Structure formats: structure tokens, C-alpha cells
Amino acid sequence: MTRIFISIAMALFAVACQTTSVAPGPDAAASTQFRERAEYRLGTGDQIRVIVYNEDSLSGEFLVDGSGRVSLPLIGQVDAGGLSLSEFEDAVELRLSDGYLNDPRVNVEVLNFRPFYILGEVEEAGEYPYTDGLTVMNAVATAGGFTYRANTRVVYIKRDGTDQEVAITLSPSTPVQPGDTIRIAERYF
């Protein structure tokens, strides 16, 4: 009889310890989209270093201008806005191989990312320099922290190049990308 009670108790304990799955909320898709780390895309304000191997006169540091282009020696304006680093490297290699160099090899790296913006219920709203791996919590800390009225559960993010602001549940790992506008709303009691 004791064995039966122990077996039943153990079975009940095992059932109680199982995690239950919760149906995703209305912003689950947006939350997943913003948590994924996408391949970095160049944009206006990025400072890049272009290295053309064995061609020091063609290498250097350049800025992506307001039209999304980079002005490079010998080949002139090259579209960069919206391209990944590898896509931009391919575009430069293609332009250089078109009558200038035989089999050019190009490497591109970002020296300074475009800034992010934070506004709303933070102590010091404004424009701040982006650092790789930045999260919303780090961005809030950079802006002096939350005000006492801040909603610390939901954050609104508008990605650079989009017109839509998306509300997502704030977590310590919510990523920020260069050019993002972060809005911390006021909480309601």
C-alpha cells in the first residue's frame, strides 16, 4: 500500500514539475523578428575601411554619404546603402575588375556604426554612438536610466529604413541595431 502511495505521489510531483507551454501573445512574431540578429546592412553615416589587397592607393577609410554611396578612388561612386559587407565587397571587386585590376581582392569592415536614438521616459533622451552587441537595456543605461514614469515592460522600436514602430516585450537581450529609434513609453497604473 505504501508503495502505491509513493508511486502516485511521485507521478503527481512529476506532472506538477512539467512546464506548460503558453500561447504566444499578439507581439510574438514581432518579438522574434527583433531578437534575431540579422546580417548587418550598411547605411548613411557608417564609416568603413576598404582594403584592396596590394593596392594601398585604393585602400582607405570612407563614409557612406546621405545618398547611400561611397566615393572610392579610381572607380568613383559605389552604392552601399542596404548592402551587406560581403555584397559591398563584391560590388567593389566587380567595378575594379572592369578594366582596372586583374582579380581584385577587397575586404570591408565597419569602423564606426551610425548612431541609435532613444526618446521618451529616459533621463537623457538623444543620439548615442552604437556599439556592437548593444541591447535595449544597455541603451537605456547609456541614456541615464528609466524615469520613474517609464513602462519597463514594453519598448517601441523603429528600425532604420522602415516607417513602422513595433511594440515588443522588453527583455535583457532585446537587440538594438544601428540607426534604430527606441521609444520608452509612460506606464499606466
- According to the model, what pLDDT value does residue 55 have? 93
Q: What's the rounded mean pLDDT across residues 91-99?
A: 94
Tell me: pLDDT of 6 over 90. Answer: no
Residue 189 domain flag: no
Residue 17 domain flag: no
Residue 91 domain flag: yes
Residues 147-185: tens digit of each pLDDT: 999 999 999 999 988 899 999 999 989 999 999 999 999
Which residue has better confidence, 20 or 119?
119
Nearest to 55 by CA among 100, 11, 7, 121: 100
Residue 145 domain flag: yes
Percent of the chain with pLDDT over 70: 79
Q: What's the rounded mean pLDDT across residues 30-47?
A: 67
Q: How far apart are CA 41 and CA 178, in angstroms?
A: 9
Does one domain contain both 120 and 153? yes
- pTM for the model: 0.68
Tell me: pLDDT of 9 over 70. Answer: no
Does one domain contain both 32 and 121? yes
Provide the CATH number for the domain around residue 96. Answer: 3.30.1950.10
Q: How far apart are CA 54 and CA 51, in angstroms?
A: 9
Residue 106 is part of which domain span?
Answer: 47-112
Q: What's the rounded mean pLDDT across residues 67-94?
A: 95
Return the bridge partners of 100, or none.
none
Does one domain contain both 152 and 173? yes
What is the average pLDDT value for the chain, to the nearest integer?
Answer: 83
Tell me: pLDDT of 69 over 70. Answer: yes
